[in-house]
Amino acid sequence: MPDARAGAPAPWLLLSRPDCHLCEAFEEALQAHLGAALPPLERACVDARGEWRMRYGQRIPVLLDADGRVLAEGVFEPADFERARRGPGLC
């Protein structure tokens, strides 16, 4: 059976914690920066998985792409985000 999501952009994952005001501001800034170009966004508590808590617990909010690559963390900085989005070694 064909995947109904075929052709749809893969979701990004925003790791945060409940009542995290920095996380809310991060998401608002991300939305303002990308607007309609923002891929589907899944949200999860960083404490839900031990691996996430160990790796990202002190760095939230953390935005991961579909491959698990960190696109942004902490305070959303558009220039840093765009550099991470392009990948290493790309201008």
In a domain, 2, yes or no: no
pLDDT in tens, 19-54: 999 999 999 999 999 999 999 999 999 999 999 999
Instruction: Answer yes or no: is 73 within a domain.
Output: yes
Report the helix count and the strand count for the chain, using DSSP H and E.
Answer: 3, 4
- The 10s digit of each residue's pLDDT in 3-24 is 445 677 899 999 999 999 999 9
Helix (H, G, I), strand (E, B) or coil at 28: helix
- Residue 75: domain span: 12-86
Give me the number of domains the chain comprises: 1
- What are the strands, taking DSSP E only, across the chain? 12-16, 41-45, 62-64, 70-73
Q: What is the CATH number of the domain that holds 32?
A: 3.40.30.10
pLDDT-derived band of residue 1, with 50, 70 and 90 as boundaries?
A: very low
Q: Would you say residue 1 lies in a domain? A: no
Over 90: is that where the pLDDT of 83 sits?
yes
* Predicted structure pTM score: 0.86
